[in-house]
Amino acid sequence: MTPGSVTDRFVGDLPVTDAEGAAALVADDATVLTSGFGSVGYPKAVPLAMAEADRDRSLTVVSGGTVGDEIDTDLLETGAIDRRFPYQGTRAARDAVNEGSVAYGDRHVGGVADEVSFGLLADADVAVVEAVAVGEDWLVPSTSVGQTPAFVEAAPRLIVEVNRAQPLELARFHDVYRPSAPPDRDPIPLSAPDGRIGDPFVPFDPERLVAVVETDRPDSPYEFRDPTDDDLAIARHLADFLADEVTRNPVLAESVNLQFGVGSLGNALMGELSGLDVGDRTLGYFGEVIQDGLLDLADRGHLAYASATSLALSRDGQRRLFDDLDRYATEFVLRPTDVSNSPALVDRFGVVAVNSALEVDVYGHANSTHVDGSRVINGVGGSGDFTRNALVSVLALPSTASDGAVSRVVPMVPHVDHTEHDVDVIVTEHGVADLRGLSPRERAAAVVERCADPSVRPALEAYLDRADEGGGHEPHDLDTAFDWR
């Protein structure tokens, strides 16, 4: 099968049923694997039918990444979900996790395919995935690929939602390749970020297909806020840093491959880099999500290609993409997460990774997930996959929160997602701290001077002076580290 040969939604003798019939096939205590990444490409009708059924469920739900309200609000609020992996993105899910009513395991999404495939995270009972077309032994994913290939392979039973709201032409974006299993895993044979090594479809054992459901419910699109003045200042500082980096870093002599984290800041940074001068170098993207900002770069002729696992677009972004699928399909490619987030490929292509954080400390440790070290927001997602393995790892964030009342540059972060060893550069609206080649005391001085808000610099400097009295390689005043704010 080739991408252009996908012309029918349903091919062959399939067990077509309605959403209620498919939902009834899911055991009350099942471990359910769902498609979806970046709030797109997830099943909608079957989770809603499960939510509306009068059954006492205790499900474990494992998704590829962020999914929509149908799973993490409607189904969750019925009390049907007991355990949740590896990422969640709704207020209802966040509240349930922080209250302790849902047991949540935050995972680096790049490793979830292996953890599920080898039974290290949960023993799968059924996979419920969205597609734009299905045959007797294949399906074509919709707006995300995510963990779908691994989930379909791991689950003994398969339910497929075929969504007519998603264009069939999405098949042209997909490059489905499954890495082999350790200890004999071969290198992923991708030699260029925009290359293709797989198929537009996900194969499966036809004996596992138990239900096919037809739907026409669209994704819940991202709602990106307008860039703030701080966002624009961060973008200017980032562009200045990148323009300098490409001239002095020999790895970037011919091409520059960027990655940006999911969300409004990352989207704003993408969109504001149209003035970035990379000379005659090729500018590309190798990351997790294609957001509206990448469409802007591509439409202005600044972006040669983009490789990701999800089309995490706003409603307007989806309309733009769907209205010009022929062109975007030549520039964009969607891969499984264990390929898009592969440490080997991030290293191979010399990716410059730009992610955000809730806060950073003076030595470069970053907290991306937990307010006050305790209350989870969403999850670490794929930021660690890129931060740890990138050629250059950048963290970009505003220096303050709550209208300036809270500093996001602190003496010690109360929860660590990315250690000082994995963070090369910090950017705020005030400037850039390049931490490469610096000792801890030198890093602290750079972060405070160049990234902290001027209103808190004297207090941070006083903290460092007090900490230095105790000596040590990375001095801290533990008695006051968390009282500082």
What are the residue ranges spanned by the domains of the chain?
3-215, 229-468
- 3-state DSSP percent of the chain in helix, strand and coil, to 5: 35, 25, 45
The span from the first CA to the last CA of the chain, in angstroms, equals: 59
10 Å Cβ neighbour count for 188?
Answer: 18
Contact 444, 452 (CB under 8 A): no
**Averaged pLDDT of the chain:** 95
Dump pLDDT digits (tens) for 138-177: 999 999 999 999 999 999 999 999 999 999 999 999 999 9
Distance CA 385, CA 389 (A): 6
Dump pLDDT digits (tens) for 96-140: 999 999 999 999 999 999 999 999 999 999 999 999 999 999 999
Q: Six-digit token pair at 306?
A: 């983009």
Distance CA 105, CA 379 (A): 9
pLDDT > 90? residue 378: yes
Distance CA 292, CA 224 (A): 9
User: In this prediction, what percent of the chain has a pLDDT beyond 90?
Assistant: 88
pLDDT at 485: 67
Distance CA 406, CA 371 (A): 12
In this structure, which CATH number among 2.170.130.10, 3.40.50.720, 3.40.1080.10, 1.20.5.440 belongs to the domain 3-215?
A: 3.40.1080.10
pLDDT > 80? residue 235: yes
Contact 89, 61 (CB under 8 A): no
pLDDT at 261: 87
pLDDT at 225: 80
pLDDT at 3: 63
Distance CA 450, CA 428 (A): 8
Q: Please tell me if the domain spanning 3-215 has the same topology as the one spanning 229-468.
A: yes
Q: What is the mean pLDDT of residues 334-358?
A: 97
pLDDT > 80? residue 275: no
Dump pLDDT digits (tens) for 9-38: 999 999 999 999 999 999 999 999 999 999
Residues tagged active-site: 288
Architecture of the domain whose range is 229-468: 3-Layer(aba) Sandwich (3.40)
pLDDT > 90? residue 269: no
Helix, strand or coil, per DSSP, at residue 269: helix
